Structure 1
Amino acid sequence: MASKQMEEIQKKLAVLNYPRADAPAQSLLFAGMERYALLEWLFFKLLGDKSPFSQQNLQGDAMDRDEETSRIQYLAEIAKFLGIMPTIDTETIQGRGSYEDRTEMLRLIVDLVEASIYADNPEWSIDEQVAKDIQLIDSIAEKQALIFSEECKLFPADVQIQSIYPLYA
């Protein structure tokens, strides 16, 4: 199952024009320069030009231990910034955990990159897709009372709008 998932990930990487899409699956799943280069490439595809991070482009195997540690930390900070991980988790960046967990994390990131590049409907541009998604959210917000019952609390109590004065339309 996980090896089939990895084949699908590598096919998607080729479609996304990842320069090293033909790298062995093991090198993408386990700690090492190949994995770090892939994660950095994926993260910067998601961040685009508006990135608060600078792309390091550290290539090759000639990294000492301190450089590798700082790169892992750097990638973990980006992953947290993107919301991929709730904390700065260097263990996950290094590929610690089960084979299935590593494969699943890569699949999710590749799917995010794919979704950010291609629209749901091939006839729409990304901007058109975003506009339609915003319209959908706006219409749900406008009809919130009709869609959700009063018992359904959509927001935690501390962020719910409380009004002591009646609102007039």
Structure 2
Amino acid sequence: MTRLNDDEKPPFSGRFLRVEHVDSSPDEFGLQLHAEVVRSEIGPERPPRISISVTNTSSRAQYWATPYQKVFGAIDSIEQDPGLILLGDGFLTFPSDVTLRPTNQNLAVDSKYHSLTLDPNETLQRERNVWDSPENNGEPFQIGTYRFESHYEQYSPGAKADEQPDGRFEWGFSLAVTAETRD
């Protein structure tokens, strides 16, 4: 790992992460989705962190699938140069305290559907570390707004693998890298 001298500061020193926008949850699907910042400071010892949650607000169990990514798994921002990536705790090390940027060979590509069943009033919550994108060629954690989106498909309980979903929607949020401390 590249280390800074005691008198050096990383290029992202004094920057913070905040939620800029969260899409409305689709009422017709009986879900409440939310995103919030858990750790806002971008520092050389650890990346900032967010929490993403989904609550089943309907009176029946719901079955969901996310094509080609785990539910709240690794998510790239829409733009990647500059860009950010959300990774879980399974990715604990990073190659440089100067960039907080994983390398592409550290990341696995997922090629299957993942499903989730939520009982009435059940909530699934996951925390994710926010890293600089491995596709970035410039300064890490550039000041700006970064959009994240996920695709969801709703299925009837007991649906077979070849059945079409009952409904589909996209949900997302935007994170801002700022030089301000407000959340």
TM-score (norm 1): 0.25
TM-score (norm 2): 0.24
Between structures 1 and 2, the one with greater helix share: 1
Between structures 1 and 2, the one with greater strand share: 2
Give the structure, 1 or 2, with the largest relative contact order (CA under 8 Å, sep 6 or more): 2
